[in-house]
Amino acid sequence: MMIRIFVNERKKMNFKMQNQNFLKHRHMKYFDTVIILTSMIFSFSMESCKKDTSQSSTGGISASDTNQAGAGGVSAKATWTIIQDNILTPSCATSGCHASTSDANYVQHNLLLTSATAYDNLINIISKNAAAKTAGLVRVKPGDYINSLLYQKIDCQATTQYGALMPLGGTNLTLGQIEFIKQWIIKGAPKTGTVVDETLLANNAACQKVFVAMQAPAASEGFQLAINTFTVSPNTEREVFLNRNTPNTSTVYVNKFIMQGRPNSHHFVLYGFQSTPSLPPVNTLRDLYNADASVNITTFLQMQNHIFLGGGTDVNTTYTFPAGVALKIPPATALDLNAHYFNKQTTNLTGENYINMYTVSQANVVKEAQSINFANYNFSIPANSRKTITTDYTFTKAVNVITLTSHFHKLGEKFQIKILGGTRNGEIVYENTDWEHPLVINLTTPILLKAGEGLTSVVTYNNTTNKIVNFGLTSEDEMNIIFGYYY
């Protein structure tokens, strides 16, 4: 079992009051990283371009909108303008989402969908979403909706491998809106001109996909853990933890995770515990935040005992260890399941998450997956100053690094990991700028390090407070940790 503490402090967004700050962390993300499992991440977005304000001879309609209406309901308004005004602006370019660089999730997706920037931010732009990058998708690929991340993120029937369905926490787009955007992409995604029949928007049925819980593995193949249904109240968010004991009566070796969650789930993470004498109650749902949005101190302190095992911001994902590598799980291991949901709607939302853990025979395990937990506990950041801290860590034997992620708190601006020693000495292999949703990379080609070689963390902090900040467990302190897996 991986031995690593993951303090989960995340900033909690309040959908009604933007000026209220919340404490938070994640996993891995976190690992508000998530560490092992695929990174995943939920980093996408849409935005729009500024409307041309030049006047034409058509009574003040902008030049980009002066197309004659044709038969069959084709509007005189430019197709892109309709997408921006009727879909992106009201559903996506909203406070807390894709409206401002100050939005809580901006560092995760780097995508504004306001009318001034959306178009240029979408067309042929590579997303920060790691899975989309790997698959060769861009935000909008003119003529190819299948390889356009925008379409994949709004169609509830599309694949779930690129993170949460958008708009997160809100009402799904209608079938008409989705088809309108699809046809616009097929027609080349132009900024001007009328290329799609506006009557498509008359289909106001919301895109719906019935959630069906995945089946548990056969007892001989593994086991399933779940957070059963719970309620998320309107115009709020809810983050919960649930301590479950694994059902195995003897030591097993896990080589694959499959995770599943309902729509509007921000993340789903699996933790173990570093110390077992004082564990949270079993099978009791625990909230991270109280009803008044203050932090539940008991739950927060329990989080300090976490060991990250898997998960992240992509709640519907699969992670498989390399051939011959597996994670050791002793009998009746206590595991903490962590789910986080947003609800921007006016009715209750249901949360529900599952993880299937697949096992292999010990005879087939050549190497046990081991955790990387390289932490610098001795540093300080002067008040009102920016400081970069470099720390070297070495392995005492040859290793293969297969997963990397990072952990710091809200004063952290950039976390880089470099190779230390050997022919690749100084090479940057990891960089993260999002403290709440740290990047997780799973390497198909492991980083091979010899004995005496290792990793270097280069972490930049910006202490905007009037006091010295040191290492510590609270959100007012800082951290400097490399997490990952090796064998």
Task: Give pLDDT, residue 34.
Answer: 34
In angstroms, the CA 202 to CA 414 distance is 46
What CATH class has 222-368? mainly beta
Task: Give 169-216 pLDDT, tens digit per residue.
Answer: 677 889 899 899 999 999 999 999 999 999 999 998 877 777 889 999
State the DSSP code for 119: H
Residues of the chain with pLDDT under 70: 1-75, 103-105, 107-108, 159-160, 169, 473-475
Does residue 405 contact residue 31 with C-beta atoms inside 8 Å? yes
Burial of 167 (0-12, 13-18, 19+ CB in 10 A): buried
Given the structure tokens 């976390």, which residue do they identify? Answer: 415
Instruction: Give Cα separations from 118 to 30, 80, 88, 148 (angstroms).
Output: 30, 10, 9, 15
Task: Give 394-429 pLDDT, tens digit per residue.
Answer: 999 999 999 998 888 889 999 999 999 999 999 999
Structure tokens at 200: 């498509």
In angstroms, the CA 301 to CA 474 distance is 9
In angstroms, the CA 154 to CA 173 distance is 7
Task: Give pLDDT, residue 241.
Answer: 98
**Do 222-368 and 370-486 have matching folds?**
yes
Which 3 state secondary structure label does DSSP give 48?
strand
Task: Give pLDDT, residue 105.
Answer: 66
Residue extents of the structural domains in the chain = 48-162+173-202, 222-368, 370-486
Task: Give pLDDT, residue 159.
Answer: 62
242, HSE (Cβ side, Cα atoms, 13 Å): 22
CATH architecture of 370-486: Sandwich (2.60)
In angstroms, the CA 148 to CA 150 distance is 5
Instruction: Give Cα separations from 106 to 9, 103, 114, 294, 394 (angstroms).
Output: 17, 5, 13, 23, 34
Maximal C-alpha separation, the chain: 80
In angstroms, the CA 415 to CA 407 distance is 8
